[in-house]
Chains A and B, each alone.
Chain A
Amino acid sequence: MKKKSFVYPVVFMVLVTAVFTLVLSFLNQTSKAAIELNKKVELHRKILYVFDMYDESDSVEEVSKKFEENIEEKKYKEDKVVYVLKEGNETKAYAVPFDGPGLWGSIDGYIGVDKDLKHLTGIEFINQAETPGLGGRIGEAPYKEQFRNVDITNKVGDEIIVNRPAPGGNIDAIAGATQTSTFVKNMLNQDLIEFISGGGVE
């Protein structure tokens, strides 16, 4: 019969694949804008949070408006971006990208530092895959809020961020997630000191 022939299965497969691919590419095309917008808004929310300017009740429009009005993007190193908070023409603070290894996967995010490079403004993680409920708590408010207004002028050894109860500590590590806390501390120290010693961006 026809079904047993060599050509039929090939033609059938090609046809079915073509039809489904068409359907998918149509859907992809129609939802592309929405997905891009979501990603952009998500990033904007996070950058605003770093500068302590984010309000959870803000609508998508308000977030975009706040972001466009106050924040500028500056190229940093080769492929990274530093977000600069401006008031009029004056620079107020920077959101500096950081990244490094975590316990389960790499962690990255932004740490805010004021224009004098003396105080932190806040922290936000973009990607992290730490254990939910343990290391994953770095993504929760109680941990992140600790980074508001932290004085980073006192160096302990060559670290500016130190987990308590070590002497000179300024951040509480997460109980039960010592490794994650240490990883975060290390990547912050490394990337932040590099940024500060470079004197910020122009």
Chain B
Amino acid sequence: MAKKLNPKKIMKDGLAVENPIVFQVIGICSALAVTNLMLNSLIMGIALTFVTALSSFTVSLLKDRTPGHIRMMIQVLIISVYVIIVDIFLQAYMPEMSKALGPYVGLIITNCIIMGRAEAFAISNPPIASLIDGAAAGLGYTAVLMIIAVVREFLGFGTMFGFNVTPANWTAWTMMIMPPGAFFILALIIWIATEYKISKEKGVSTK
């Protein structure tokens, strides 16, 4: 752990350079599932950010005491605790949202992003850095979800955050709010982002 941990760099990695969805292509199950409405995506993103940040933090806090061979059990335990907290919170204070997200709240437990961050970062880094790393990955996830959701909700329902923004004769693209719509948009985003990354790397190497 000789390398210095720069919070700014951690943030940038999570949000852009190593964006969990676009470049690591993990956690896309829920990204495909809940993105037909912007509000759902936002709440899902916040919930995931909360869980990733705090579980990374907790994993890191306990890392010196955790025996290596049972660390995964401990990680899953910690993650599920935070997911259950989110689930209880939604049921108690946002019942509508809890219904809209349905099983996907519980499925945050299996989201690869959280386990990935715990294994790749939190288990070998100090708590505060892990907290930032987890939050960055979560926010990166949220950002991509929101981009997908903007396109899908606008084209599929003609609304933004539930507000009508299209003329009355707007024909909704039903395809967009069904699963295939998510695949198309996500694939396009990954394509564009990867192209951009490649072109940037080429630019650097020819210099």
Contacts and interface: CB of A to CB of B under 8 A. Distances in A.
B70 interface: yes
Given A16-B74, A23-B81, A38-B92, A133 B67 contact: no
Contacts of A39: 95
Interface string B167-178: 000001010011
A61 B65 CA distance: 51
B66 interface: yes
Interface in B77-96: 77-78, 81, 84-85, 88-89, 91-93, 95
B70 A12 contact: yes
Contacts of B50: none
Nearest to B172: A133
B8 interface: no
B202 interface: no
Contacts of A24: 81, 84-85
B70 A9 contact: yes
B174 A134 contact: yes
Interface residues of A, number: 24
Interface of A is mostly: helix
Given A27-B85, A132-B36, A12 B65 contact: yes
B126 to A, nearest CB: 20
Interface in B41-100: 62, 65-70, 73-74, 77-78, 81, 84-85, 88-89, 91-93, 95
Given A16-B62, A23-B81, A133-B177, A35 B67 contact: no
A19 to B, nearest CB: 9
A119 to B, nearest CB: 30
B46 to A, nearest CB: 18
B141 interface: no
Given A9-B70, A12-B70, A34 B81 contact: no
Interface string A17-48: 10010011001100100110011001000000
Given A12-B65, A133-B157, A17 B77 contact: yes
Nearest to B177: A133
Interface of B: 36, 62, 65-70, 73-74, 77-78, 81, 84-85, 88-89, 91-93, 95, 156-157, 172, 174, 177-178
Interface of A: 3-4, 8-9, 12-13, 16-17, 20, 23-24, 27-28, 31, 34-35, 38-39, 42, 131-134, 176
20 contacts: A3-B67, A12-B65, A12-B66, A12-B70, A13-B70, A16-B62, A16-B77, A23-B81, A31-B88, A34-B93, A35-B88, A35-B91, A35-B92, A39-B95, A132-B36, A132-B177, A133-B36, A133-B157, A133-B178, A134-B174
